[in-house]
Structures are given as structure tokens and as C-alpha cells.
């Protein structure tokens, strides 16, 4: 089984100046977690901490500076990162799209325009040829979150509120996923999407609006995309964080007196068992937990989070659910999109002024857990 942790390019690398997010937040992410400059040291840390898998992403906007301009030096750096991971017997789990887009793609209408899908497929073709030794690809990360944040909540670029545009975006992402799968697929590769899955529960069981809204969120947010691409999944990547209580469609609340992370999300370890079991029964595919983590300034809380969630993962395995990996989010403290640098998810503490790293006790706890599970 794979035991590791993850980052994404825009959140951790730094200086992704050709990204739509860089333009949107006016370069606020700056050097981010300095991964682009410290990746050699970081891979040494992964080895030291006993992890045998690392999920990270290739930044499309770093490689394709314009629609016809490929930065081969960036491509070569990713090649060196992959080679070093393989040298250390750390499985690279590579995400090809983790929310950020090239600014030139965004200016052409982004994912709202079906004709733009081809630009992403050009990128996929390049990666497929250049990285034939990568076994695991996550083609898209959380397309449901992207469409919701960009066009329902309106907190991510382009910051609009349109259910119609959210559905168009999600549909185009599903088409892009299927075509990318067909490009990448061979006998050696295992391909999937990393889907954010939330435990939705009605705020009041006797309130029909709460009940119907909870059902619709489960169907549309959790499973609409997966249902569109289910024939093209070699396994299913689950990103699990929390449970929410639904009052009316997108009106979500967290109940008082519950353990929460620094963003106010409820910590609900049993949820990873509930959602994993449901997904396995529904799709009958192996499961990889591609994200599961907590932002907190209390490292004892992080240790407890890991311990309790992994216990439920072990319960799933005992019940016959095929789980191929567990990836803690995140390896490093990183830039948390609209929330900026405040939330601390990392096993490794990052000084954002200097890029210096400090191993948290939770990283050592996770190392011991991995060691015990491998025995």
C-alpha cells in the first residue's frame, strides 16, 4: 500500500507567474512554499520520513507559457523531480490539473468554451510522451470544487455566480478528462480523478427542504462528475475533509461543539469510512485517499486527526474494500487559495519569509504509523 503526502504546484512551488491565479491574486502567493527551489531537500525529507508515495502536480502554465511556447527547462525540472523520487523508491502520483490555468487559456474563456479543451489535451500529449515511467496520474483535481467556487460561490476566478456556467464548466471538464484518459492510458498506467467528497446531512431531519437539499448536494456535488466519467476510472481518488449540515442547497453550516479545523470545518473521522464504503459499493473500483488532512496550529490535533482517520481506513480494508493508498494533505504548509497563507496543513512547517523547513511531531508520528503498517 502507498503511504505518502501531497502538494500542488501553484500552492507550493512559488513564482507561477503565468497562471490565472497569479493575475487574480496579484502575485500574493509569491514564493509559496519554495518547492521549486527546494525540491531536492524536500525529497530527502520524504525519504527520511518513511513515505513511499508523493502526490504533486505539473503546472500547466509553467510548461506552456503561451499556447505555442513550451518551456523545456521547466519540463526538465519536473523530469529531475520524478527521477529523484523513483531513485528513492517513492511513487510519483502526478496531477495534471490542480485548479490553476495558464492566463492565456483563461483569457480565451477557459473551461467555459468546449473548443478550449484541445489546449489541455496538447499539454496531456506532451506529458504522456515525456514521462512514460509514471504509473499514477490524477488527470483532474476536484472539478466539482472548481466549478462550485468559480461559478456558484463566486470566490475563485472569474468570481461569477451562475449555476448554468458551473454546469457547463463541469461538463467540459468531464469531456477533457475522458479524452485525456484515452491519450494517457496504456497497460502500465493507472488513471483517475481526485474528487472532493463531503458528508452531507440535513440540518433538521424533519425539515423536508433540508432533507431534499442534502440529497441534491450529495447527488450533484459528490457524484455528478464521477457518474459522467465512471467508465474511465482505473481507481477512484477520494479527497475527504469534513461533514456539513445542509439548510438549503448551498447554505451549509457546521454544528456547534464539534472538533473543527482552523477554517471551521468539522473534523469527522467516521466520514472517511462512510464515504469510502459508499464509493466502493457504487463504482466497484479500488480507492486511493488522495487528500485527507487538517489545518491547525495544534500539532497534537493533527496527530489525532491522522490516527483516527487511518483507523477508519484500516476498518475499510478489514471489510474487504480495496484501498491502494493514503495521501495526507499536505506535505508542506502551503498557499491555501482564497484563504492565503493562514491555514497550516503541513507535516512540515514552512517559514514563508525564508522558505526554511521544520519537521513537525505529526510527521514523525506518521512515519511511525507507516513503519508499523508495513511490518
What domains are there in the chain, each with its CATH number? 2-374 (3.20.20.80)
58 alpha carbon, distance to own chain's centre: 13
* Contact yes or no for 195/238 (Cβ under 8 A): yes
Instruction: Reply yes or no on whether the pLDDT at 251 is more than 90.
Output: no
The single residue listed with the C-alpha cell 442534502 is 214
Angle between helices 299-318 and 270-283 (to 10 degrees): 40
Question: What was the pLDDT predicted at 89?
Answer: 98
Question: For the chain, what is the total number of helices (H) and then of strands (E)?
Answer: 14, 13
Cell of 35: 518547492
Helix (H, G, I), strand (E, B) or coil at 351: coil
Q: Where are the beta strands (DSSP E) in 170-214?
A: 190-202
Give the pTM: 0.97
Question: What was the pLDDT predicted at 152?
Answer: 93
Q: End-to-end alpha-carbon separation of the chain, Å? A: 12
* Contact yes or no for 350/334 (Cβ under 8 A): yes
User: CB under 8 Å to 320, separation ≥6 — which residues?
Assistant: none
Question: What was the pLDDT predicted at 220?
Answer: 95
Question: What was the pLDDT predicted at 250?
Answer: 74
Q: Is-cis flag, bond preceding 330, omega within 30?
A: yes
pLDDT 10s digits, 178-236: 999 999 999 999 999 999 999 999 999 999 999 999 999 999 999 999 999 999 999 99
Amino acid at each position: 500500500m502507498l503511504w505518502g503526502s501531497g502538494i500542488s504546484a501553484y500552492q507550493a512551488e512559488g513564482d507561477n507567474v503565468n497562471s490565472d491565479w497569479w493575475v487574480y491574486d496579484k502575485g500574493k502567493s509569491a514564493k509559496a512554499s519554495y518547492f521549486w527551489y527546494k525540491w531536492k531537500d524536500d525529497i530527502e525529507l520524504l525519504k527520511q520520513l518513511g513515505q513511499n508515495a508523493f502526490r504533486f502536480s505539473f503546472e500547466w502554465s509553467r510548461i506552456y507559457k503561451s499556447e505555442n511556447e513550451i518551456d523545456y527547462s521547466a519540463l526538465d525540472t519536473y523530469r529531475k523531480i520524478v527521477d529523484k523520487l523513483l531513485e528513492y523508491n517513492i511513487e510519483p502520483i502526478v496531477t495534471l490539473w490542480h485548479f490553476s490555468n495558464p492566463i492565456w487559456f483563461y483569457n480565451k474563456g477557459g473551461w467555459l468554451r468546449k473548443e478550449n479543451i484541445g489546449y489541455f489535451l496538447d499539454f496531456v500529449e506532451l506529458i504522456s510522451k515525456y514521462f512514460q515511467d509514471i504509473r499514477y496520474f490524477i488527470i483532474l483535481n476536484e472539478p466539482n470544487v472548481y466549478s462550485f467556487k468559480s461559478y456558484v460561490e463566486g470566490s475563485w476566478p472569474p468570481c461569477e455566480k451562475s449555476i448554468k456556467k458551473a454546469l457547463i464548466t463541469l461538463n467540459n471538464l468531464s469531456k477533457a478528462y475522458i479524452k485525456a484518459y484515452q491519450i494517457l492510458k496504456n497497460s502500465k498506467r493507472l488513471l483517475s480523478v481526485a474528487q472532493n467528497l463531503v458528508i452531507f446531512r440535513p440540518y433538521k431531519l424533519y425539515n423536508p427542504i433540508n432533507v431534499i437539499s442534502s440529497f441534491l448536494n450529495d447527488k450533484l456535488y459528490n457524484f455528478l462528475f464521477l457518474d459522467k466519467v465512471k467508465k474511465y476510472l482505473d481507481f477512484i481518488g477520494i479527497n475527504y475533509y469534513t461533514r456539513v449540515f445542509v439548510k438549503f442547497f448551498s447554505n451549509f453550516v457546521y454544528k456547534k461543539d464539534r472538533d473543527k479545523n482552523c477554517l471551521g470545518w468539522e473534523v469527522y473521522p467516521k466520514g472517511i469510512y462512510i464515504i469510502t464504503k459508499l464509493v466502493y459499493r457504487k463504482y466497484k473500483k479500488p480507492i486511493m485517499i488522495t487528500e485527507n488532512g487538517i489545518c491547525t496550529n495544534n500539532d497534537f490535533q493533527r496527530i489525532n486527526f491522522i490516527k483516527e482517520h487511518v483507523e477508519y481506513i484500516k476498518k475499510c480494508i478489514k471489510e474487504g474494500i480495496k484501498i491502494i493508498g493514503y495521501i495526507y494533505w499536505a506535505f508542506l504548509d502551503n498557499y491555501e487559495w482564497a484563504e492565503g497563507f493562514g491555514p497550516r496543513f503541513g507535516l512540515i512547517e514552512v517559514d514563508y519569509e525564508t522558505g526554511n523547513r521544520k519537521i513537525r511531531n505529526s510527521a514523525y508520528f506518521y512515519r511511525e504509523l507507516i513503519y508499523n503498517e508495513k511490518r
